[in-house]
């Protein structure tokens, strides 16, 4: 539930800060940089809103899974598929909610195809964040260690993703 409020608050604050700055298509390169920055911010927010909570949920469910797995109740693919189906509404709804709140406010092109492409990008970021959360949660025994190392895994992806540091600029 906190993820919903955090996502709504972030989208609201981003829309409040971008409306006065006047994104319009007539600004040329400055507008392109602003739109790219807004997209980057939306992607980072989706990443963080889904990465850490997935670690916390996975670590809380891990003892139950291990007990059921050792007793031979089901295989790993059954657990993975059931988690995927269980979290599918979250993976579909939250990116759409953020996309609906940000897309038109920021000033992206009014096009259904571009809107859907941006939604698909956000949805794939949510899936990647959740997968990273499961991976991070599974390699650490303690929840505190997994949460402490999460930024260490995420920081290189954020810095070297091409928005903050150009890959051509790295020697």
Nearest CA to 49 out of 115, 100, 97 is that of 97
Task: Round to whole Å and give the CA distance between 66 and 90.
Answer: 25
Please give the share of the chain, as a percent, with pLDDT higher than 90.
Answer: 20
pLDDT score of 156? 83
Tokens of 80: 């993975």
Per-residue tokens: 151:
């930024």
User: What are the backbone dihedrals phi and psi of residue 53, each rounded to the nearest 5 degrees, phi first?
Assistant: -60, -35
Helix, strand, or coil (residue 24): coil
Q: Binning pLDDT at 50, 70 and 90, where does residue 142 land?
A: very high
Give the global pTM.
0.72
pLDDT average, residue stretch 17-41? 58
For the segment 48-73, what is each residue's pLDDT rounded down to a tens digit? 889 999 999 989 988 988 898 889 88
């Amino acid at each position: 539930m906190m993820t919903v409020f955090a996502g709504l608050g972030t989208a609201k604050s981003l829309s409040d800060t971008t409306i006065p700055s006047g994104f319009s298509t007539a600004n040329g390169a400055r507008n392109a940089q602003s739109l790219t920055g807004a997209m980057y911010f939306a992607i980072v927010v989706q990443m963080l809103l889904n990465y850490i909570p997935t670690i916390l949920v996975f670590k809380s469910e891990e003892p139950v899974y291990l007990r059921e797995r050792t007793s031979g109740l089901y295989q790993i693919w059954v657990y993975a598929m059931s988690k995927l189906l269980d979290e599918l509404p979250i993976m579909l709804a939250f990116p759409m909610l953020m996309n609906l709140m940000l897309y038109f406010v920021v000033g992206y092109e009014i096009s259904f195809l571009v809107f859907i492409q941006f939604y698909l990008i956000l949805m794939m970021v949510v899936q990647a964040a959740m997968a990273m959360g499961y991976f991070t949660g599974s390699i650490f025994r303690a929840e505190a260690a997994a949460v402490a190392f999460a930024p260490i895994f995420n920081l290189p992806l954020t810095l070297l993703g091409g928005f903050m540091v150009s890959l051509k600029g790295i020697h």
